[in-house]
């Protein structure tokens, strides 16, 4: 069962993500980041790769795409806040984006 991140876990787990342009979302227990690619095909290709990983993890992002830009918000609705799944998916998104 997934659990909400505890206070002592947040610095350790979120710190490396915050150093890679992830931010705390305003008004909710979530993280967000804007990814920008060379063009629409690159953005959509990245989203397709992420979708495969998200499905394997059974953890799906809130996101939108406009041309070459993808805005992502991650939170775990089952725990009403951030969990280790968000950290794992955010790290995978970073690695897939290069």
Q: Using one digit for the tens of pLDDT, what is the confidence trace for 82-91?
A: 999 999 999 9
CATH code matching the domain that covers 23-97, chosen among 3.40.1110.10, 3.40.718.10, 3.30.1360.20, 3.30.43.10: 3.30.1360.20
Give residue 54's region: left, alpha or beta (phi > 0; psi -120 to 50): alpha
CA torsion angle 50 46 75 77 (round to 10): -50
Distance CA 16, CA 60 (A): 21
Q: What is the pLDDT of residues 23-58, one digit of tens each?
A: 999 999 999 999 999 999 999 999 999 999 999 999
List the chain domain ranges.
Answer: 23-97
């Amino acid at each position: 069962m997934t659990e909400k991140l505890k206070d002592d876990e947040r610095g350790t787990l979120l710190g490396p993500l915050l150093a890679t342009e992830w931010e705390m979302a305003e008004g909710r227990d979530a993280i967000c980041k804007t990814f920008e690619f060379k063009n629409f095909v690159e953005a959509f290709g990245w989203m397709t790769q992420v979708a495969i990983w998200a499905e394997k993890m059974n953890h799906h992002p809130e996101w939108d795409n406009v041309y070459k830009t993808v805005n992502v918000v991650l939170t775990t609705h089952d725990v009403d806040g951030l969990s280790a799944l968000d950290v794992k998916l955010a790290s995978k998104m970073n690695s897939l984006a290069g």
